[in-house]
């Protein structure tokens, strides 16, 4: 197996755990309400706004051996700039308060996920960041492919309310292929181990973001 295939195999249990989270299953079956979707978008805003800063931080920490990876990061940055504003536009289209989301604190689970990414870049191996890329891009592609249309029908919201999820999913199909090529160029065992470890951790941390979203009785408790 090439390294990308090894990465997928090594993290499959964590991926399955995350996709078994009840609210993700609800989304895949169209069993969500608008307030839940807005809550998801709110937390997405608070981690997506860090994508470009994280990419910049990763690129700044790479050594000369990884110049080829730094050049790839420059391409990622060009693609990712401004995506957090798409999310705020979607919130407005849902009837939510986008400016309140912009100025709010993220949920602790979102804050911890982002903080862990910065920590690995700053204190560990910056290449580990690509484990986070693997989880977020793979998840957004799966949700966009399997959940966006279902939720759009169930919620009766306009297409403008799904620009982030739909467009990001189609973008990430290309990103996943690009990412696969990058990972297969990683030869150093420490780099590979760092990416696998980060991906395993991120499935848990990102899963906690979904677990934080209101469901069931919480919807009626104002959570």
- The H-or-E segment that residue 139 falls in is helix 129-146
| pLDDT in the model for residue 178 | 87
Judge whether residue 217 has pLDDT over 70: no
**For the segment 28-76, what is each residue's pLDDT rounded down to a tens digit?**
888 889 999 999 999 999 999 999 999 999 999 999 999 999 999 999 8
pLDDT (0 to 100) of residue 172: 56
Indicate the CATH number for domain 21-213.
1.20.910.10
b/e per residue 58-86 (b: at least 16 CB within 10 A): bbebbeeebeebbebbeebeebbeebbeb
CA distance between the termini of the chain: 45
The per-residue pLDDT for 171 is: 52
| Mean pLDDT of the chain, nearest integer | 90
Q: What is the pLDDT of residues 131-177, one digit of tens each?
A: 999 999 888 877 776 777 778 778 888 888 988 887 765 555 677 78
The confidence score (pLDDT) of residue 169 equals: 59
Residue spans of the domains in the chain: they are 21-213
Note whether 100 and 85 are within 8 A (CB): no
Token digits for 45? Answer: 């805003």
């Amino acid at each position: 197996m090439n390294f990308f295939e090894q990465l997928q195999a090594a993290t499959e249990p964590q991926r399955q755990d995350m996709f078994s989270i009840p609210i993700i299953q609800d989304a895949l079956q169209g069993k969500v309400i608008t307030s839940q979707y807005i809550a998801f978008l709110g937390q997405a805003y608070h981690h997506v706004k860090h994508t470009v800063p994280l990419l910049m931080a990763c690129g700044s920490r790479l050594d000369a051996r990884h110049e080829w990876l730094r050049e790839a990061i420059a391409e990622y940055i060009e693609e990712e700039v401004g995506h957090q504003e798409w999310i705020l536009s979607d919130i407005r289209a849902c009837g939510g308060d986008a400016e309140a989301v912009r100025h709010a604190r993220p949920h602790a689970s979102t804050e911890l996920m982002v903080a862990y990414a910065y920590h690995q870049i700053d204190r560990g191996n910056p290449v580990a960041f690509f484990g986070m890329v693997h989880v977020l891009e793979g998840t957004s592609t799966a949700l966009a492919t399997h959940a966006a249309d279902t939720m759009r029908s169930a919620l009766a919201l306009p297409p403008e309310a799904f620009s982030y999820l739909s467009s990001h999913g189609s973008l990430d199909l290309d990103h996943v292929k690009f990412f696969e090529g990058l990972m297969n160029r990683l030869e150093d065992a420490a780099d590979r181990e760092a990416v696998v470890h980060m991906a395993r951790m991120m499935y848990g941390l990102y899963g906690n973001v979904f677990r934080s979203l209101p469901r069931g009785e919480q919807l009626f408790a104002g959570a």
